[in-house]
Amino acid sequence: MVADLIRGRYPALSVELQIIRTKGDIMQNVALSVIGGKGVFIKEIEEALLRGDVDLAIHSMKDVPAELPDKLEIAVTPLREDPRDVLISKGDRKLEEMPPGAKIGTGSLRRELQLKNRFPGFEIVPMRGNLDTRIKKLNTENLDGVILAAAGIARMGWSSRVSQFLPVDLLLPAVGQGVLGLETRRGDDRCRNIIEFLNDPVTFVEAGAERAFLGRLGGGCQLPIAGFAKKHGERIVIEGMVGSRDGRVVIRESSEGKAGDYQRLGSGLAETILLRGGDVLLAEIYQENAL
């Protein structure tokens, strides 16, 4: 998609796609918390960018750790796709219509803990793999439903398969969900100037607030953290959450302020959650992952 947009803007420019398989792509039968959730979907791509093998890296921002290598930066974020999660289910049932004991598949600790908190009778089944593989597991693993990101489903043209779009009040999204991050080498003005037209300033601010929140928590894919910001004119609202793996404890807070203060608001929200006991929850998860 990004390559086509660049070609459309600069017809004389040669744009070549280079597909790089990452550790997260290859080790699909192992939980992210086991293989190391931070950067498992981007490390090899960033290494190619640093070597100069590629000039531009495209990431799903929810896979990007809070800290980047010093010589790299997220230069551009195009317009955000739908940030919500969706349910694809047997019989097209909604979560509220499913009986106790319903088997719901997800590979996300963030989704898992929120589902356990709201629907304690459900059986959560861990799963990995691409979208098609996960949807097929409805039948191969006899699941009642699977939870996926709306953005990926929309980009694949599969929105008609969705049984329920889950509101953020029910399932708070991952930091950066629905956002593409265009990463460049710092100081590469030529590349940055070429892709600047793709940047959506609202998305850039919203994603920035969420990543400031994540950065203060030191989070990655292996932690049950959620964060979602929404800009309204000159104001921005950010909501964040940290929870226990079993879903029994959920700390959820929100903050509102001037959009220009988005980074301060994000990190400040994280401080509030840490002071409410989030520091203890995160320390427990770090300890579990280290075992």
Catalytically annotated residues: 63
User: Which string of DSSP letters, residue by residue, matches the chain?
Assistant: -HHHHHHHH-TTS---------HHHH-TTS-HHHH-STTTTTHHHHHHHHHTS-S-EEEEGGGS-SS--TTEEEEE--PPPP--EEEEEGGG--GGGPPTT-EEEES-HHHHHHHHHH-TTPEEEE--S-HHHHHHHHHHTT-SEEEEEHHHHHHTT-GGG-SEEEPTTTSPPPTTTT-EEEEEETT-HHHHHHHGGG--HHHHHHHHHHHHHHHHHT--TTS-EEEEEEEETTEEEEEEEEE-TTSS-EEEEEEEEEGGGHHHHHHHHHHHHIIIIIHHHHHHHHHHHH-
